[in-house]
């Protein structure tokens, strides 16, 4: 049995032990800053924040994706409409055929074809042969002329044929789209008459206008024994009539 003094000492030891234990626990809580409720509250807050952030990111991605898709669709549609061009229709009813003995030169930059030596161009009922021919296909025009040799002599005069009409000029410029032509120093024959003109303008397949023309039955048209001058200007309808003096 403890005496009074021993009891007092035991009580003091217990008080000191309890005081030290309480002090250590308070010190740990004060300096770490983590308590049970605070830890769970912090975990919930972070979880909720991540969920909201994920939802916002997903929503933003959907909006951007839709915006880009709509924008691309509109641009492609508009571009196709602007680039669509109507197909060109050819103004020619027939194919233009051509050939040459020596050379055929195609110049795309100048839209022309040059034929040399014994050339021929055919279009519908029109046949044009010459020593040299130049086709300007952008405007539908053919130029035909003679060739000159080293001695200065000309040969291969153009021969223009359309149906039963035959014209032999020094040169001819013919448009196969509108059938008009300018013919220089031409020779033609109508029945028993030979007709020569300095310049002939072909208006269509049945009407010609002549400048300084003559009519003769002589074979030598360059130096005929006799002839009829049809004036500085005349209208000539093949196989029908000649109207002069206007």
Mean pLDDT (the chain, rounded): 77
What percent of the chain shows pLDDT beyond 90? Answer: 37
pLDDT for res 189: 85
Pick from 34-43, 146-155, 174-183, 215-224: least confident: 34-43
The CATH fold of domain 96-244: lipopolysaccharide transport protein A fold (2.60.450)
Higher pLDDT, 70 or 167: 167
Q: Is the pLDDT of residue 69 over 70?
A: no
pLDDT for res 44: 47
pLDDT for res 110: 94
pLDDT for res 35: 42
* Residue in 116, 210, 220, 122 with CA at minimum distance from that of residue 162: 122
pLDDT for res 88: 55
Predicted confidence band of residue 193 (pLDDT cuts 50, 70, 90): confident
Predicted confidence band of residue 242 (pLDDT cuts 50, 70, 90): confident
Tell whether pTM > 0.85.
no
> Can you spell out the DSSP letters for the chain?
---HHHHHHHHHHHHHHHHHHHHHHHHHHHHH---HHHHHHHHHHHHHHHHHHHHHHHHHHHHHHHHHHHHHHHHHHHHHHHH--PPP--S-SS-EEEE-SSEEEEETTTTEEEEEEEEEEEETTEEEEEEEEEEETTTTEEEEE-EE-TTS-EE---EEEETTEEEE-SEEEEETTT--EEEEEEEEEETTEEEEEEEEEEEETTEEEEEEEEEES-S-SSS-SS-EE--SEEEEETTTEEEE--
| CB-CB contact of 156 with 125 (8 Å) | no
Q: Express each pLDDT in 19-46 by its tens digit.
A: 665 555 544 444 444 444 344 344 444 4
Predicted confidence band of residue 114 (pLDDT cuts 50, 70, 90): very high
pLDDT for res 23: 54
């Amino acid at each position: 049995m403890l005496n009074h003094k021993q009891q007092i000492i035991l009580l003091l030891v217990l008080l000191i032990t309890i005081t030290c234990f309480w002090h250590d626990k308070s010190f740990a809580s004060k300096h770490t800053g983590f308590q049970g409720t605070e830890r769970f509250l912090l975990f919930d807050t972070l979880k909720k924040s991540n969920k909201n952030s994920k939802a916002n990111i997903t929503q933003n991605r959907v909006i951007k994706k839709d915006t880009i898709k709509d924008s691309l669709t509109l641009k492609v549609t508009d571009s196709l409409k602007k680039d669509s061009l109507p197909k060109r229709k050819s103004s020619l009813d027939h194919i233009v055929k051509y050939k040459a003995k020596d050379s055929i030169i195609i110049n795309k930059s100048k839209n022309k074809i040059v034929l040399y030596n014994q050339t021929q161009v055919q279009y519908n009922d029109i046949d044009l042969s010459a020593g040299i021919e130049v086709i300007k296909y952008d405007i539908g025009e053919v130029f035909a002329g003679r060739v000159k040799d080293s001695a200065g002599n000309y040969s291969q005069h153009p021969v223009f044929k359309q149906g039963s009409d035959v014209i032999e000029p020094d040169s001819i410029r013919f448009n196969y789209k509108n059938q008009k032509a300018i013919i220089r120093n031409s020779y033609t024959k109508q029945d028993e008459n030979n007709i020569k003109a300095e310049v002939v303008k072909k208006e269509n397949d049945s009407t010609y206008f002549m400048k300084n023309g003559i009519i003769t039955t002589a074979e030598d048209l360059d130096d005929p024994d006799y002839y009829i001058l049809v004036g500085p200007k005349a209208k000539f309808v093949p196989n029908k009539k000649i109207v002069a003096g206007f």
